């Protein structure tokens, strides 16, 4: 048996270290999967085979592909190679994947003419021949200052997300997770998962502005619509008395008034009444 010299042993050790590093970087966690549908312009996080979150996204406005300088979104299987942005505030701006210290004001909107990388970055590396240039091209899942365009093809190749959504994805998707970018639509999601996709952007309404700096919350099931409360019945309208009843009331009042008169006046009135009746009888 031929002995291996010192140089050969060093080469074998170096090759073993290189191969172990490759296995570590290409390995992904099978318990967490991220699906991106170009058809739906949506991203879904799957854990243990069950979808747990779904968010709107934006893929490239220039179409699909992996050619360098094409600004297109590649398809296929990827791995989350790097996660960048720990501790960066919501709306924090990156330049060459480094936090600049600047924070975009999402409450009052941002310039729509220029796309900025904000809040968090998940850097993808392709696992197939058709997306082998993705890592060198800088294909990311990241937050954007153009949140109003999320939900339609608008990016320069990356997967854009609203800043609150990418913050949630960054926290729940581990390093080394598998990412699949597909042309086909996503399967129908449960109602509680679909509720995460209807949240407004951070700059769309005062309600969303009030929760811009809050931590992401897990999706909740849509509330059950309650039956409307019964309307209070209006009081009955008082009926107007008839003419005959009014005449009867006036006669009763007059009778009470006559009995309340002075005794002398009442006696005189009774005398006149007796005289009239006697006169009529004699006639």
Specify the higher pLDDT residue, 13 or 140.
140
Is residue 15 domain-resident?
A: no
The 10 Å CB-count burial string (b at 16+, else e) for 70-99 is bbbbbbbbbbbbebbbeebebbbbbeeeeb
pLDDT over 60 (residue 87): yes
pLDDT digits (tens, 9 = 90+) for 116-144: 999 999 999 999 999 999 999 999 999 99
Summarised one tens digit per residue, pLDDT across range 42-58 is 999 999 999 999 999 99
Q: Considering its fold, how many domains does the chain have in total?
A: 1
Angle at 263 between CA 260 and CA 266, to 5 degrees: 75
* 65-69, 172-176, 203-207: least confident range: 203-207
C-alpha–C-alpha distance, residues 156 and 91, integer Å: 19
For residue 9, name the pLDDT band (cuts at 50, 70, 90).
low
Contact criterion met (CB below 8 Å) for 242 and 249:
no
Q: Is 224 a domain residue?
A: no
CATH code, domain with 129: 2.40.440.10
The residue range of the domain holding 58 is 27-210
Q: For residue 158, what is the DSSP state?
A: S
* Bridge partners for 93 per DSSP: 118
Q: Is 90 helix (H, G, I), strand (E, B) or coil?
A: coil
Q: Are 203 and 155 in contact (CB under 8 A)?
A: no
For residue 54, list its beta bridge partners: 44
Residue 183 burial by CB count (10 A; 0-12/13-18/19+): exposed, middle or buried? exposed
Give the closest residue to 241 by CA, choosing from 254, 231, 232, 250.
250
Tell me, yes or no, whether 8 lies in a domain: no
Contact present, 144 and 115 (Cβ < 8 Å): yes
Q: In the 8-state DSSP scheme, what is residue 60? A: B
State both tokens at 20: 């172990």
Q: What percent of the chain has pLDDT over 90?
A: 51
Residue 43 belongs to a domain: yes
276 located within any domain: no
Predicted pLDDT of residue 225: 36
CB atoms within 10 A of CB 62: 14
Using the predicted structure, report yes or no on whether residue 205 has a pLDDT greater than 50.
no
> pLDDT at position 212, please?
38
Instruction: Please state, in angstroms and rounded to a whole number, the distance separating the CA atoms of residues 105 and 145.
Output: 9
Residue 78's DSSP bridge partners are 126, 179
Within a domain: 253 = no
Q: Is residue 281 part of a domain?
A: no
Bridging pattern class, strands 42-47 and 92-95:
unpaired
Within-domain flag for 133:
yes
């Amino acid at each position: 048996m031929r002995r291996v010299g010192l140089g050969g042993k060093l080469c074998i050790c170096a090759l073993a270290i290189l191969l172990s590093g490759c296995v570590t970087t290409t390995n992904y966690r099978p318990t967490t999967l991220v699906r991106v549908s170009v058809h739906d312009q949506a991203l879904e996080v799957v854990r243990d085979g069950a979808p747990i979150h779904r968010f709107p996204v934006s893929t490239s406005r220039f179409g699909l592909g992996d050619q360098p300088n094409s600004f297109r979104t590649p398809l296929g299987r990827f791995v989350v190679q790097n996660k960048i942005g720990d501790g960066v505030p919501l709306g924090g701006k990156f330049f060459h994947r480094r936090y600049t210290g600047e924070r975009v004001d999402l409450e009052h909107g941002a310039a729509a003419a220029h796309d900025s990388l904000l809040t968090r970055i998940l850097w993808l590396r392709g696992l197939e021949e058709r997306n082998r240039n993705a890592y060198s091209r800088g294909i990311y899942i990241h937050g954007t200052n153009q949140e109003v365009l999320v939900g339609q093809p608008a990016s320069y190749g990356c997967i854009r997300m609203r800043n609150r959504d990418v913050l949630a994805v960054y926290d729940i998707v581990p390093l080394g997770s598998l990412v699949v970018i597909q042309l086909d639509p996503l399967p129908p999601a449960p109602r509680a998962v679909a509720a995460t996709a209807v949240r407004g952007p951070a700059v769309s309404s005062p309600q969303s502005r009030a929760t811009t700096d809050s931590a992401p919350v897990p999706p909740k099931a849509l509330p059950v619509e309650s039956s409307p409360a019964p309307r209070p019945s209006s009081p009955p309208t008082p009926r107007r008395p008839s003419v005959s009843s009014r005449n009867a009331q006036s006669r009763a009042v007059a009778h009470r008034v006559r009995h309340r008169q002075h005794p002398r006046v009442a006696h005189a009135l009774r005398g006149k009444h007796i005289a009239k009746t006697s006169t009529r009888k004699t006639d």
